[in-house]
Amino acid sequence: MSDNVSQGSDQQVSTQPNYLLSLWRNKETRSVILQIITIAVFFAFLAYIINNAILNLAALGKTFSFDFLDLPASYDINQRLIEYTSQSTHLRAFFVGLLNTLLVAFFGVITATILGFLLGIIRLSNNWVASRLVYVFIELTRNIPVLLHILLIHGIIVHILPSPKQAHTLADSIFLSNRGLTIPDPVAGDGFIFTVIAFFIAIAGAVYFRSWAKKKREEEGKIYHVFYISVGILFGLPLLVFLLSGLPLTWHVPEMGRFNLKGGITMIPELLALWLALSLYTSAFIAEIVRAGIMAINKGQWEASEAVGLTRDRTLNLVIIPQALRIIIPPLTSQYLNLTKNSSLAIAIGYMDIVATIGGITLMQTGKEMETMIIVLFTYLCISLLISSAMNWYNKRLKLVER
């Protein structure tokens, strides 16, 4: 791209005595000049807006400082993963919000991926009814703004589900009402620690078994049901220890109080709505990505698998999806990013994420627009960079497997 610049101009170099002009016509010096100009303009612009901001703040009698973060927030937050009261600082309120954002993004990414893969595969199946219905679902979902999804689902939870006294219940321990989904709270007794230890041992055992089985397969051609045996180790060992140590776990079952269920773990409707809406919306996009990825795999791969006698399901699992993943991962990354960014719409239904805590109530109560917005923007930027680098790492790992 660059060479043509110099070629075009070199021909025109005449006997101009002008030194500056000759600098301009030299390819290297010109690029240096251009960059100096660019950076000068950039910094001049930066200086200009910062200067304006200083003048404007001064005119309003405001200062630019992050001191407010140490002041008590004096508002309550309904969902907190860490200790927080209205006496805690704004900084702590920020962390409560950040964790809430990460929580919904994390669960959203998991469910959206599972649902998206399922839908994408059903969309390609021979089953006419299922594939058409999934098509309708995908088109309906992705052509409606995500904000509407959130509002609609929140509306349905709040308006259609019964109040806690008439809550839908499963075995009188799991309750679903318009105050959210409440499940019993596990309480660990003496000796539960052994089960936890057993679980970690089981993980190590499963990992070891996998590599051992792989070696066996390569050396002796012996094939084990790696998946089922791993699952068996993972769950069997802790379960055994759990039973032997005398079931050291009790459940704190929620009970109806005067207004709400008392005890248990409650997933508030806002979290439920946001999580469902983001999962559904994103799963429609993921389904299309998965479909495109699978369709991009050469037809010969299907035919070859059929020729060696693999069933359709096994072909998908063993041949097609591993290859399609390489095509799927990059667009999947941007869907994960979108989901995380869309979680900021929480503010529309009152889920207390970063935007609602530091960028909402804190901003409002302290009047520190500039500082709080900078914090919010910077935080999202960091989250996005983390997600994309994690996915890039995964993508690279997949590429290395390629032979």
Partner 1 sequence: MTSSETQNPTNGSYPPGTHPDLPPPSTAYGPVHWIKVNLFGGVTNTVLTLLFAYMLWKIVPFLTEWMFLDAAFTGESRRDCEATAGGACWAFIGSRLQLFIYGFYPEAQRWRVDLTFVMLILALVPVLYDATPHRGKGLIFACLYPFIGGWLLIGGLGLESVSTDQFGGLMLNVIIGVTGIAFSLPIGIVLALGRQSHLPIVRILCVGFIEFIRGVPLITLLFVAAVMLSYFVPPGTNFDLLVRVLIMVTLFASGYMAEVIRGGLQAIPKGQYEAADGMGLRYWQVMRLVILPQALKISIPGIVNTFIGLYKDTTLVIVIGRLDILGIGNSSLADSKWQGLSTEVYVFVALFFFISCFSISRYSLYLEKKLHTEL
Partner 2 sequence: MKKLSIALAACAVTALTLTPQAAKAGTLEDVKARGVLNCIVNTGLPGFSYTDASGRWKGFDADMCRSVAAAVLGDGEKVKYIPATGKTRFTLLNSKEGDVIFRNTTWTFVRDVSVKLNFIHTTYYDGQGFMIRKSKGVKSTKELDGATVCIQTGTTTELNLADYFRANKISYKPVPIESNEEARKNYIADRCDTYTTDASGLAATRASFTKPEDHLILPEIISKEPLGPVVRHGDDQWADIIRWTVFALIAAEEHGVTAANADAMAAKKAPATARLLGGEGDLGKMLGLDKDWAKRAIKAQGNYAEIFERNVGTKTNIGLARGLNAHYTNGGLQYSPPFR
**Min CB(214)–partner 1 separation in Å:** 29
- Residue span 329-348 as binding mask against partner 2, x where in contact by CB under 8 A, dash where not: ------------------xx
**Min CB(263)–partner 2 separation in Å:** 11
**Min CB(372)–partner 2 separation in Å:** 11
Alpha-carbon distance values, 43 to 47, 49, 50, 244, 259 (Å): 6, 10, 10, 69, 59
Quick one: how far is CA 297 from the chain centroid?
27
For position 178 contacting partner 2 by CB under 8 A, the verdict is yes
Among positions 262-321, residues that touch partner 2 (CB under 8 A) are 262, 269-270
Quick one: how far is CA 186 from the chain centroid?
27
For position 57 contacting partner 1 by CB under 8 A, the verdict is yes
Q: What are phi and psi of 177, to 5 degrees?
A: -145, -175
Among positions 326-345, residues that touch partner 1 (CB under 8 A) are 337, 341-342, 344-345
For position 56 contacting partner 1 by CB under 8 A, the verdict is yes
Alpha-carbon distance values, 351 to 2, 98, 150, 189, 245 (Å): 51, 12, 11, 33, 41
For position 369 contacting partner 2 by CB under 8 A, the verdict is yes
Q: Compute the distance between CA of residue 351 and CA of residue 169 in angstroms, rounded to an integer.
A: 24
Among positions 28-47, residues that touch partner 1 (CB under 8 A) are 31, 34-35, 38-39, 42
What is the three-class DSSP state of 85?
coil
Judged by CB under 8 A, which stretch of 5-13, 65-73, 222-230, 270-278 contacts partner 1? 5-13
Q: Compute the distance between CA of residue 47 and CA of residue 53 in angstroms, rounded to an integer.
A: 10
Q: Compute the distance between CA of residue 13 and CA of residue 29 in angstroms, rounded to an integer.
A: 15
Q: Compute the distance between CA of residue 401 and CA of residue 403 in angstroms, rounded to an integer.
A: 6
Alpha-carbon distance values, 290 to 18, 287, 304 (Å): 61, 5, 21
For position 133 contacting partner 1 by CB under 8 A, the verdict is yes
Q: Compute the distance between CA of residue 279 and CA of residue 271 in angstroms, rounded to an integer.
A: 12
For position 172 contacting partner 2 by CB under 8 A, the verdict is no
**Min CB(381)–partner 1 separation in Å:** 4
Nearest alpha carbon to residue 336 among 282, 291, 396, 403: 282
Judged by CB under 8 A, which stretch of 152-160, 185-193, 215-223, 391-399 contacts partner 1? 152-160
Taking the least distance from each CB to partner 2, the nearer of 272 and 316 is 272
- Residue span 355-384 as binding mask against partner 1, x where in contact by CB under 8 A, dash where not: x---x---x-----xx--x--xx--xx--x
Q: Compute the distance between CA of residue 81 and CA of residue 104 in angstroms, rounded to an integer.
A: 12
First to last CA, the chain: 33
Residue 228: CB atoms within 10 Å:
9
Contact residues for partner 2 (CB under 8 A)? 59-62, 74-78, 85-87, 155, 158-159, 163, 178-179, 257-260, 262, 269-270, 347-348, 350, 352, 356, 360-361, 363-367, 369
Q: Which residues bind partner 1 (CB under 8 A)?
A: 1-5, 7-9, 11, 31, 34-35, 38-39, 42, 49, 52-53, 55-57, 59, 122, 125-130, 133, 139-140, 143-148, 151-152, 155, 159, 313, 337, 341-342, 344-345, 347-348, 355, 359, 363, 369-370, 373, 376-377, 380-381, 384-385
